[in-house]
Amino acid sequence: MKILLYISSIVVFLFTGLFYFQENIFAEWRGHQLAYLRQLKQINQDSEHQEEENLSIKLQQIYLPEMNRIDRCVSCHVTIEDPRFADKKNPLKTHPGNYLEKHDPEKFGCTICHDGQGRAIVWDDVRADSKEKFWEKPIIKKPFLEANCFRCHVKPLSETPTYNRGKYLFETSGCLGCHKRDGRGGYLAAELRGLGDASVHQKYPTNSLDPKLLPKFNYNRNLAYIYESVRFPKAQPEDSVMFDFKLSHDDALALTVYLKSLTDHQPGVSKLPEEPQKPLTIHE
């Protein structure tokens, strides 16, 4: 009995040590920060060496209680505001364009635009795509990223051409003859407000008319469902009375981006720009 107790104690000790090293010494974010320091040594001038010495390897996060967000993305993406890393590869790459000049990460965080699992510190968990089908907000990429601009902004922006096209199609194709948006419109079909928030528990694509639908949308089931609904309205339910507009792929994609923007989610009021409806001037 004592031998069994000793063996089990040793096993527990070894596993505890293994998890400690995995979570602290060999963590992904630690490796990226060490790589950042090594690259700094290569590109810094002699007068800037003090900067390297003052950098500490630690888990970083942006805490935004008003927005109910904790974003740890910056633990790996430590160079997003460092222009010297513009030609590097992710995660050690400067954020593209001049978006951060108008969207301070310390004020807005990361997931308000990019979605994903902000509290995660392992890439597979951050993107939350095919490996976890019940994660409701997997990381989102272009052109669908345009939809999230309208969590704050009100009017179409020159930087959101796909969204703008989708909004135009929605408002000129008679969609409000059946559907409601913000309580206004027809009564034959569902209210669309909040469609962009619909979880996998509520809406799921059938893939019946396009078996490769989910991979096309990076396993984002909400996006795939919206696209299927506008491109193949008879997919579900099969007796749907929705008119088939015979949309092209590009037009269906544009409508998907617009409908994805119809969300009940709003950031904290204190985080909104003074003029959120004012068009931005952002360079890619």
CATH of the domain at 215: 1.10.760.10
Which of the two residues, 166 and 49, has the higher pLDDT score?
166
281, part of any domain: no
CA distance 259 to 194: 9
Q: Which of 127, 158, 190 is the last residue of a domain?
A: 127
> How many folded domains does the chain comprise?
2
**Residue-range definition of the domain harbouring residue 180:** 146-260
Same domain for 244 and 151: yes
In a domain, 99, yes or no: yes
pLDDT of 283 reads 47
Confidence of residue 100 (pLDDT cuts 50, 70, 90): very high
Q: How far is CA 244 from the centre of its chain?
A: 30
Q: Residues 193, 229: one domain?
A: yes
Instruction: Say if residue 57 is in the same domain as residue 123.
Output: yes
Using the predicted structure, report yes or no on whether residue 198 has a pLDDT greater than 80.
no
Alpha-carbon dihedral of residues 39, 43, 45, 50, nearest 10 degrees?
-20
The 10s digit of each residue's pLDDT in 102-124 is 899 999 999 999 998 899 888 87
Q: Kindly state whether residues 175 and 86 are assigned to the same domain.
A: no
Q: What would the two tokens of residue 5 be?
A: 């107790």
Do 219 and 107 lie in a common domain? no
Residue 175 domain flag: yes
Is 271 domain-assigned?
Answer: no
Same structural domain, 99 and 175: no
pTM: 0.81
User: Is 222 part of a structural domain of the chain?
Assistant: yes
Q: Token match 């009375």: residue?
A: 241
Please tell me the distance from the alpha carbon of residue 139 to that of residue 3, in angstroms, as a whole number: 49
For residue 124, what pLDDT is reported?
A: 78
Return the closest-CA partner of residue 77 out of 59, 92, 98.
Answer: 92
Of the residues 127, 160, 182, the one at which a domain ends = 127
